[in-house]
Amino acid sequence: MAADLALFEDCVRAIARELRRKLLDGSSWLVARPPRARPPLPGRRAVRGALAALAVATAVGCGQGTRRGSGTDDTVTGTGGGQPATGAGGASSGDVAAITAGPSVTGSGGGPECERELSFEAVILGEPAPFDLIVVADHSDSLGFSRDELAQGLSDLLDGVRGRHVRVFLLTPTQYGASSAPAQYPQTGEPVVAWQDPATGEAYEPAMTTYSQSCTDLDRTPIDCPDPRAELPYLVVGTWEFAMPPPIAELTPEQTEAEFQAQEQALADAILSIRGKGSPHEQPLCTLARYIFQDPELLPSNAVFLVLSDEDDGSTPAECLKGFEAGLTLVERDAGSEACSSDCDGYLYSIPGENYWERLEYHCAAFDDVGMMLPGTENSDWDNVALVDSCAEVSPGPCSDAEWESVARNCDVGTEVFSCERQCYTNVLPCQVQLPDASVDACTEAFVYNGIQYKDLPEYCALIDRPATGACTSSGFNELTSTSLTSSQRLTQVTPGFMTEHLAHHVLQEAESQFGEDNFLVEAIVHDPSFSCELGAGQSYATNLSRIVADSRHLFPLCESYAPALASVLGFAQALTQTEFLLQLEEGESINQVLVEARDGAQRELPTTSWTYDDATGTLRIDRSVITGTDSRLNVEVTSACIPIIE
């Protein structure tokens, strides 16, 4: 029994040595056969472009195949390892290779006491899944300090995803530039969007949109667009198109070392040159919305969004526009009235009165990116909140936070509230009725108005709860009419809603619809109260931007290294790699070794801690972190017990 056990152990060691030698000597003994299509793993959704290949080497137990007699060299067919199939990588095809048995392992008696069989099968699964990295970076001077960190971090990221199809895009939070100058409201000529610096008059750049418009007369005949302030009827239709820039870097599996380094340099140059006369009213959420709401055919299969900003985005869907329609049309309207003493068009009976309102008076202005007010941009306005019985019910003073937020929505595009006061306003409002003739004196006599009879005007005023505190007067008038031009306009938003959180919600909702839950990632490098970064002038916590980051682990501080954020991008890329393979082992078989083969043929052995095998499902799982974009296939060594042959 001891001799048999020793012979068995010698046989196993001999098979393992021979197999390892065959795996590493260039595999010159492989014989190819036509590729075969293989289905994806049941229950898993296919992801385009998974790892590369799986090869299986099997050492079968002695005596399991057709017995070979002494002095012969017959081929032995054994059970071998099962055929690997694709995991998340979808359908595949490959080359299957087989070898004949090598020399038999003999014992001390010189006769054949042990046999072995080796077989290899390779399944070509394609390249790792491509993805796009879309960086939306604040290009104001207040963030200039971070560009070196971002450039270095992205360069390191490219090293980590080398060998893949990867594109890196750089977008800005500025929406509107010089092309938006023609977008003006009829009659006033006021701009529809803020596209230029109010202090210098220079256009913001680089902008994420290109505006174009066309005009017609009222009969829909095309015309050149007139000056909107001219008294000329016209209709205009305008559109803001998303101006998607080319990638600042693009990797492909076929790139040479020189070509790869050129892409690294191009990326660094683009990041370090981030600057421009960008809008101080930055809208990264709108930029993301424009990108995500593109035609699905223009989007990649997988995407990572990285937002870099030192202030929050408070813009609303109404400030993220894709369309503008307006016009000047002819309208006949009431032009008022003139005094009349007899045979008048009507007679007006009136009693003066007053009521009281709780009113919010506020001031708006534009600010630069460090919080300084831009001269000449101030504007004041008011908002009546509620009708009160007397001013004693109103507590004058500074607005509350809720009141401040309510009036902030009324500020012009590109401006924000900087002061707000609560006060009482006395409104002089007469109580009046208009009668067609002077047959009755409504001040003192009964009259019929809108089908209802009233004792006199004081009774009418009391019934409609209108204050009447003075003497009743009457006067005749003749109505005047005129024909004039009137303006109309309609704005079309990229997303529905009217609050910033609506914009953030629809960005995330559309991303899930366009890419699928597992095929996109949103990260942000910003200010957050949980971080130790101190806020500078013009900076703010990214309360709204954080709404699009579903997992707080993908929220990173501006004042620390960007390496963790970019490591998460690499982790997302690794998650797109196939790491599961079907491998059916026979009873008594086990995986002895897993090797990774690169495109250049070099092989390396994976540590046993980086892979596992599930007997129940017949699945080999590889740790994503040990697979790179330049790897092409896996070689798996399967061993089995060696059983002596009894002659």
* Last residue of one domain, picked from the residues 484, 509, 536: 484
Amino acid at 512: E
Who's near 597: CB < 8 A, 6+ residues apart? 53, 55, 603, 631, 632, 633, 634, 635
**DSSP string computed for 429-442:** --EEEEESSSSS-T
In the numeric block, which tokens belong to residue 73?
Answer: 């060299």
The residue written with tokens 């709860």 in the block is 465
Residue 505 three-state SS: helix
pLDDT at 140 over 70: no
CA 259 to chain centre: 29
204, part of any domain? no
Q: What is the pLDDT of residues 238-281, one digit of tens each?
A: 999 999 999 999 999 888 999 999 998 998 888 877 766 778 88
pLDDT at 59 over 80: no
Q: For residues 344 and 438, give the distance between their C-alpha atoms in angstroms, rounded to a whole number.
A: 9
CB burial class (10 A; 0-12, 13-18, 19+) of residue 339?
exposed
* Whether residue 359 sits in one domain with residue 314: no
User: b/e for 596-613, b at 16 or more Cβ within 10 A?
Assistant: bbeeeeeeeebeeebbeb
214, part of any domain? no
Q: What is the pLDDT of residues 98-110, one digit of tens each?
A: 222 233 333 334 4
The predicted structure's pLDDT at residue 11: 56
In the numeric block, which tokens belong to residue 318?
Answer: 């109404």
370, part of any domain? yes
* Whether residue 78 sits in one domain with residue 32: yes
529, part of any domain? yes
The predicted structure's pLDDT at residue 37: 33
* Whether residue 588 sits in one domain with residue 558: no
- Our count of domains for the chain comes to 3
Q: For residues 249 and 400, give the distance between their C-alpha atoms in angstroms, rounded to a whole number.
A: 49
The predicted structure's pLDDT at residue 12: 54
223, part of any domain? no
* Last residue of one domain, picked from the residues 456, 484, 512: 484
CB burial class (10 A; 0-12, 13-18, 19+) of residue 439?
exposed
- CA dihedral of 501, 502, 504, 506, whole degrees rounded to 10: 160
The predicted structure's pLDDT at residue 7: 53
* Whether residue 592 sits in one domain with residue 466: no
Residue 598 three-state SS: strand
pLDDT at 69 over 60: no
Residue 64 three-state SS: coil
The average confidence (pLDDT) of the chain is 79
- Degrees, nearest 5: CA angle 571-152-267: 90
Read off the DSSP letter of residue 404: H
Question: Of 70-84, 87-101, 544-558, which has the strongest mean pLDDT?
Answer: 544-558
Q: H or E segment at 498? A: none
Q: What is the mean pLDDT of residues 290-319?
A: 94
Element counts in the chain: helices (H) and strands (E): 8, 30
pLDDT at 116 over 80: no
* Last residue of one domain, picked from the residues 434, 460, 484: 484
CA proximity to 340, closest of 475, 438, 441, 480: 475
Of residues 637 and 443, the one with the higher pLDDT is 443
Who's near 13: CB < 8 A, 6+ residues apart? none
Residue 395 belongs to domain spanning:
328-484
198, part of any domain? no
63, part of any domain? yes
210, part of any domain? no
Q: For residues 413 and 283, give the distance between their C-alpha atoms in angstroms, rounded to a whole number.
A: 12
pLDDT at 491 over 80: yes
Q: What is the pLDDT of residues 320-336, one digit of tens each?
A: 999 999 999 988 878 88
The predicted structure's pLDDT at residue 561: 84
The predicted structure's pLDDT at residue 572: 86
The predicted structure's pLDDT at residue 467: 82
The predicted structure's pLDDT at residue 2: 54
The residue written with tokens 């501006």 in the block is 558
- Reported as a pLDDT band with limits 50, 70 and 90, residue 3 is low
Sheet of 580-582: strand order equals: 580-582, 619-622, 611-614
Q: What is the pLDDT of residues 363-374, one digit of tens each?
A: 999 998 888 999
In the numeric block, which tokens belong to residue 573?
Answer: 């890329």
**DSSP string computed for 109-127:** TSSEEE----EEEEEE--S
In the numeric block, which tokens belong to residue 61?
Answer: 């137990």
The predicted structure's pLDDT at residue 156: 83
The residue written with tokens 């017990």 in the block is 641
Question: Of 105-109, 112-116, 142-146, 382-386, which has the strongest mean pLDDT?
Answer: 382-386
Q: For residues 328 and 228, give the distance between their C-alpha atoms in angstroms, rounded to a whole number.
A: 8
Q: What is the mean pLDDT of residues 268-295?
A: 87
The predicted structure's pLDDT at residue 468: 84
Q: For residues 502 and 375, give the distance between their C-alpha atoms in angstroms, rounded to a whole number.
A: 32
* Whether residue 291 sits in one domain with residue 157: yes
* Whether residue 147 sits in one domain with residue 17: no
Residue 519's domain is classified under what CATH number? Answer: 3.40.50
Q: What is the pLDDT of residues 204-213, one digit of tens each?
A: 989 999 999 9
The residue written with tokens 């003739």 in the block is 437
Q: For residues 537 and 368, give the distance between their C-alpha atoms in angstroms, rounded to a whole number.
A: 10
The predicted structure's pLDDT at residue 223: 96
Amino acid at 28: S
Q: What is the mean pLDDT of residues 15-36?
A: 40
Q: What is the pLDDT of residues 72-91, one digit of tens each?
A: 333 222 333 333 333 333 32
CB burial class (10 A; 0-12, 13-18, 19+) of residue 402?
exposed
* Whether residue 99 sits in one domain with residue 77: yes
* Whether residue 383 sits in one domain with residue 273: no
In the numeric block, which tokens belong to residue 92?
Answer: 């595949």
* Whether residue 453 sits in one domain with residue 358: yes
- Give, in order, the Cα–Cα distances in Å from 317 to each of 246, 497, 502: 26, 6, 7
Contact 176, 195 (CB under 8 A): yes
Q: Let me know how long the chain is.
A: 647
Read off the DSSP letter of residue 277: S
User: b/e for 111-150, b at 16 or more Cβ within 10 A?
Assistant: ebbbbbbbbbbbbbbbbbbbbbbbbbbbbbebbeebbebb
* Whether residue 274 sits in one domain with residue 164: yes
* Whether residue 164 sits in one domain with residue 114: no
* Whether residue 473 sits in one domain with residue 335: yes
**DSSP string computed for 216-242:** E-TT--EEPPPPTTSS--EEEEEEEEE
Q: What is the mean pLDDT of residues 39-51?
A: 29
pLDDT at 406 over 50: yes
The predicted structure's pLDDT at residue 199: 87
In the numeric block, which tokens belong to residue 645?
Answer: 């042959």
Cis peptide before 317 (omega within 30 of 0): no
